[in-house]
Amino acid sequence: MDYLKYWTPVLVVACSAAGLFAGGDWMWVGIATFPILAILDSIVPRDFGVRKMTNATLANIPIWLCCVGPVALYFVFAWSLSVHDLTIWQKIGGILSVGWMGVIPLVPAAHELYHMRNPIARTVGRYGHLCILDCTRDIGHVVGHHIDVATPDDGDTAARGTTLYSFTPNAVIESTKYALKMEAGALRKKGLSPWHYSHRLYRALLALVLFHVVIFLIGGWEANLCALAGQIVARFWVESFNYFQHYGVIRLKGAPIGRRHLWNHLGWFSRTCGFDITNHADHHLNSYQVYYKLVPHKEAILMPSVFVCFLSALIPPLWHEVIIKPALKRWDLEFATKEERVLAAEQNRKAGWPDWQNESPELVGKAATVGV
């Protein structure tokens, strides 16, 4: 049964493909899965189950389909634009549909592949990110994020008081700059120019050009414009999801990473459609651990559905007051070390938030969960 759960995102991609193929108002089928998944993930009980999966081949089939499938959707979209007389409204539906499929399930699937030791899987994972205009994403993620998470050096960790609207564009810029910087540094260590022809940026750009050449051959310039719009939507949307999984958590530079330094979102559909990327804490303790062996952290502060977090963050006061401030208050008082509490208090002060450590001194450190 556990194997079947992870075919849910495959079904989502298949429905999106059918909608794009049918044309007309069916172009909206892909993006329509977003509110459907949001509702289901919010009303179905949280999923704390440990997976009983031992066959890696069976477990990985939906991963590969959900990495390659959203890329293929762009070709279906281009074909649909060439054969159907679509209105602007219907084209927007197609753009949002391919954009959303580039977020969920493509990014979690690609993320799983480029964390594997298999070079073919890692390559497919990297270039699956054509859909989000970021085929060098694994550089910053693996080299930077997994080392710097929850520190000021991590561009994926939003400081307290930051809104989704200021975080997202900055994350797009900083993640791109970081990947280029790290790749240039790696080339220098080999005694090469930082802009040597082997720089991965050139291969990423070549892949993007070839991708759009195929789209042009299928659907012409209009298809290229619509595809580019979908890729841009996906890129910004992807960066916004980092906002919820790391927001406001504090770790000293160089200190060990604990499960408490990540937020988990353990909704049934969050876990299955995201290939347990929302079951995040164990992944940061062992980045090579396969998705189906990650163990939910039941002792952690429970967060709402990741879909609820995204929708609430569109209204910053709602996100801050209803969801994240209560969670961070408990985190500071129960989970943080003494040194982390000092940094947390400073971030709270800069954000104009209450000094809850002094408001409730009797609660500080009561849970003794520092090692969690």
- Taking only the tens place, the pLDDT of each residue in 207-235 is 999 999 999 999 999 999 999 999 999 99
Angle at 174 between CA 171 and CA 175, to 5 degrees: 80
- Of 234, 257, 9, 262, nearest to 132 by C-alpha is 234
Q: Do the Cβ atoms of 81 and 109 come closer than 8 Å?
A: no
> Which long-range contacts does 209-213 make (Cβ < 8 Å, 24+ apart)?
211/71, 211/74, 211/130
Q: Do the Cβ atoms of 103 and 241 come closer than 8 Å?
A: yes
Please tell me the pTM assigned to this model. Answer: 0.92
pLDDT score recorded for residue 362: 59
3-state secondary structure of 127: helix
Angle at 280 between CA 364 and CA 105, to 5 degrees: 145
Q: 255: which DSSP letter?
A: S
Q: Measure CA 59 to chain center.
A: 20
pLDDT score recorded for residue 371: 45
- Of 4, 34, 29, 10, nearest to 19 by C-alpha is 29
- Taking only the tens place, the pLDDT of each residue in 89-109 is 999 999 999 999 999 999 999
- Of 8, 239, 66, nearest to 140 by C-alpha is 239
pLDDT score recorded for residue 323: 96
pLDDT score recorded for residue 20: 98
pLDDT score recorded for residue 178: 85
Cis amide linkage into residue 105, ω under 30° from 0 = yes
pLDDT score recorded for residue 365: 60
- Of 209, 245, 248, nearest to 353 by C-alpha is 248
pLDDT score recorded for residue 370: 43
Q: 158: which DSSP letter?
A: P
- What percent of the chain is helix, strand and coil (3-state, nearest 5)? 70, 0, 30
Measured N-to-C along each axis, helices 306-313 and 29-43 cross at an angle, to the nearest 10 degrees, of 110
Q: Do the Cβ atoms of 66 and 109 come closer than 8 Å?
A: yes
pLDDT score recorded for residue 308: 93
Residues of the chain with confidence (pLDDT) below 50: 367-371
